[in-house]
Structure 1
Amino acid sequence: MLPPAHIDRVVTAALEEDAPWGDLTGEYLLPADARATAVLVAREGGVFSGGDVFAAAFRLTDPRIGIEVHTPDGGRMVPGQVLATVSGPARSVLTAERVGLNFAQRMSGIATLTARYVAEVAHTGARIADTRKTTPGLRALERHAVRCGGGHNHRFSLSDAVMAKDNHLAVLSALAPTTTPGAAVTQALQAAIARLPHTTHVEVEVDRLDQIDAVLAAGVGTIMLDNFTLDELRAGVERIGGRVTVEASGGVSLETVRAIAETGVDVISVGALTHSARAVDLGLDVRVEIAGA
């Protein structure tokens, strides 16, 4: 689900950013023949993600480095657990250290936070999904981490599905001033659906209960109830009556997600999974060996 070629592109850019003209510290302080063995260790519990990305940081820095990942992506980790081992020229190992750690800590943080949300709604039928609120350039990695935590992915990009949000609806209503707002929205959505390939999913965001009927009439696939209260969510689910997928968004936190899921919605999209996840504390413990010592 995370293509190796994409990993290599992202990691190569990160390595070039971190050492554009080489690692001066390693080159001037460490003997060229020094070798190092390092272990990636969990300093706290959580869900691991980013093993292949971590490994790529070392592989792309120096093909002489050997890497073994011991914990699969999505695997649980406890404090003190050895997650991976790398071994090779000390200069190269230390050059790749920070980039490898940055990716693994970030991705594991997202996976760990996602797992907490998933656990909160496990007794319901609701899915936890991410959003497009991702770090530019790192979306594929961060969304992979969401899956590692048991979550689901929303549309990957603007090219993947039609999703009409509040500003889209406002434009449609303004363009048809002689038509009732509801009718204008229905007609515009129906016209778009008629032109789209039959495989393209259409989702519409509403922020009021009285907008639902016009959207339903258009024949869309998903209706997002945005920033609804719990009572409004229950009313929206009842009004929709299982005819389309119901997504809840806005105001979602670990403290509120359980109650939102219990209103009967099908999907809960959570921007915090990727924009507010705290990096998990991972460390790289290094042992250096000098030839002939």
Structure 2
Amino acid sequence: MSTTPVSTADFELPRVLIARAIEQALAEDLGVRGDLTTDATVPRGTMSTATFGARRAGVISGLAVAEAAFHALDPSVVFEPLVRDGARVAAGSVAARVAGSAHALLTGERVALNFLSHMSGIATLTRRYVDLVAGTRARIVDTRKTTPGLRAFEKYAVRCGGGQNHRSGLYDAILIKDNHIVAAGGIAPALAAARAHAGHMVKIEIEVTSLDELADALKHPVDAVLLDNMEPPMLREAVALVDGRAITEASGGVSLDTVRAIAESGVDLISIGALTHSAPILDLGLDFTPQAG
């Protein structure tokens, strides 16, 4: 039975998604010939131990995915997490230990590290943004600008970094953007059609780029307004105009240098595509323990 925590306090990454992603990743890496290097150099039956070390400080995410990479090759591999997903780690610290068949550890190493490093990088960048807006009402959220096939993993990593998730896909909310407005013939017809189409459980958000567009949108029932590429002074005016009638979301032009000023405008949410499409990996390594004798 795995002892790896697979969730933060309030979010779970389904194991069925992990299993499918690991199967695809291993199939890509092994091809039709398998691990030529390990098969050629390491005798079958060799046992090894190794540690996942953080070479830079950051936030960990994806331990259960890394574990699954080894268990897909050999279920008897022992994976021991030393921290939970969402934990901050210092450079030089150890996040997990793994022990078992050297063949399984070597063959699964890159797949495990690819997921763990990528997800931890997203969690680390997210935490930087979250820390910068501390003390304001703003919450940091992600977008749909994710790697195809990895959205659930990347959004999970955002949660590990202290952020929150925007809609997961086109299916779970209505977000009327500029091109929808043009195609529908304007803000009023777009919102009217959306309200007629949506069920009572579906939220409706609309994107606006000016205070005039915002005023037009607020004439209709709307749950949230996306304030696109507005500078902080205009954002403050927009928040005052909304006056609590809808959730306010700032988007566009957000960076580590600008996020604090945006948050101080009083918006409820700040959505940042860079959390998932531009986060650098967290440098982690799998280091084998030398065998005595």
TM-score (norm: length of structure 1): 0.93
Report what 1:272 is aligned to.
274
Report what 1:232 is aligned to.
234
The DSSP-based 3-state class of the residue aligned with 2:226 is strand
Unpaired runs of at least 5, structure 2: 1-11
Q: Is the 8 A contact 1:34 1:288 kept in 2?
A: no
The reply to whether residue 210 of structure 1 matches residue 212 of structure 2 is yes
Unpaired runs of at least 5, structure 1: 174-183
Report what 1:179 is aligned to.
none
Aligned equivalent of 2:175, options 163, 167, 172: 163
Q: CA deviation at 1:49?
A: 0.6
Report what 2:138 is aligned to.
126
Equivalent residue pairs, number: 281
State the distance in 1 between where 2:86 and 2:275 align.
15
Q: Is the 8 A contact 2:176 2:190 kept in 1?
A: no
Report what 1:12 is aligned to.
23
Structure possessing the higher radius of gyration over alpha carbons: 1
State the distance in 1 between where 2:149 and 2:197 align.
31
The reply to whether residue 52 of structure 1 matches residue 54 of structure 2 is no
State the distance in 1 between where 2:118 and 2:272 align.
17
Q: Is the 8 A contact 1:66 1:88 kept in 2?
A: yes
The reply to whether residue 102 of structure 1 matches residue 114 of structure 2 is yes
AA aligned to 1:225 is: L
TM-score (norm: length of structure 2): 0.93
Report what 2:286 is aligned to.
284
Q: Is the 8 A contact 2:26 2:111 kept in 1?
A: yes
Per-residue CA deviations over 1:20-69 (Å, capped at 9, x if unaligned) read 23101111111112111111011111111101011001111211311111
The DSSP-based 3-state class of the residue aligned with 1:61 is coil
State the distance in 2 between where 1:257 and 1:238 align.
19
Which deviates more, 121-130 or 281-290?
281-290
Aligned equivalent of 1:250, options 241, 246, 252: 252
Aligned equivalent of 1:219, options 218, 221, 244: 221
Report what 2:8 is aligned to.
none
Report what 2:6 is aligned to.
none
Report what 1:259 is aligned to.
261
State the distance in 1 between where 2:127 and 2:138 align.
14
State the distance in 2 between where 1:84 and 1:216 align.
51
State the distance in 1 between where 2:180 and 2:272 align.
21
